[in-house]
Amino acid sequence: MSHVPAASRALRVLRFLAAQADPVPIETLMRACDLPRSTAYHLVNAMIDEGFVIHLSEERRYGLGVAAFEVGSGYTRQAPLQRIARRPLAQLVDRVGHSAHLAVLHGRDVLYVVEERAPGRPPLVTDVGVRLPAHLTASGRAIMGGLPPAQVRALYPDRDAFTDRTGHGPQSPTALRALLAAQRRRGYAFEDGEVTLGMASIAVPVVDHNGHPVAGLAVTYPSTGEVAPPDPEVVAHFARLLSQRLGARTAGPDQPG
């Protein structure tokens, strides 16, 4: 349990706001972050004073402030996740023979930050800097499977929040909840033809020292049956390795079985 509850609440608010496509009403923030009304107002006012949150009074909504952007810019300059991930991704590709990539959640999209292509494999749409709908990708599902249900509901409140690429994939909050529940039972995320027809992906979340999912590690391969799919436990092994490098205490064997 945290010994600095105010700091924990402030970080929870920042994470939630960073995952939204647009500023949100205070009621949405309260529900998603499990904050009483008075606490929520005191907290966001303090964060407004420090520049981390901005209040759009005409819209009665709250969003990220300039100070949050400065922190994000500092992260981009240092790029610790990308630096940590490059060598393990290359090792993963050597192990499974398929292309691998690492993505982070940005609103209702995933943003691809590292990609390692396997020799002789076809190019993918997951180049570094590309965004794709999170609910259609294995990486996005891997991340969302570890988020609080309230945060997923805030991201996908109704059918209008769902987009489509190939005619496959969840198109309602109920369908997404069922998919994420099945994923948690299975132990990894999976998509087949929902991003690109004829291609499938397996993904496992990468977590930080708090157990919070910060990225999805995925391997993409042809789903035609001509090649063997990757072993999910091998993908999970490399996700655990990245998580450990971020300070996580991960359970499970150190080497894939």
Residue 183, C-beta contacts closer than 8 angstroms, at least 6 positions apart: 141, 142, 145, 189, 190
Residue extents of the structural domains in the chain = 5-71, 79-245
Over its length of 257 residues, how does the chain's per-residue pLDDT go in tens digits?
445 788 999 999 998 998 888 899 999 999 999 999 999 999 999 999 999 999 998 889 999 888 887 776 566 555 678 888 889 999 999 999 999 999 998 888 998 988 888 887 767 777 777 889 999 999 999 999 999 888 899 889 999 999 988 889 999 999 999 999 999 999 999 999 999 999 999 999 999 887 889 899 999 999 887 788 899 999 999 999 999 988 887 544 343 33
Measure the CA–CA gap between 168 and 85, rounded to whole angstroms.
Answer: 30
pLDDT of residue 256: 38
Kindly state the greatest CA–CA separation across the chain.
59
Task: Read off φ and ψ for residue 200, nearest 5 degrees.
Answer: -130, 160
Task: Specify the residue for token string 């997404």.
Answer: 176
Does the predicted TM-score (pTM) go above 0.75? Answer: no
Number of residues assigned to the chain: 257
What CA dihedral angle connects 142, 143, 144 and 146, to 10 degrees?
Answer: 90
Please state which architecture CATH assigns to domain 5-71: Orthogonal Bundle (1.10)
- CATH (residue range 79-245): 3.30.450.40
Q: Identify the CA nearest to 114 among candidates 96, 90, 94.
A: 90
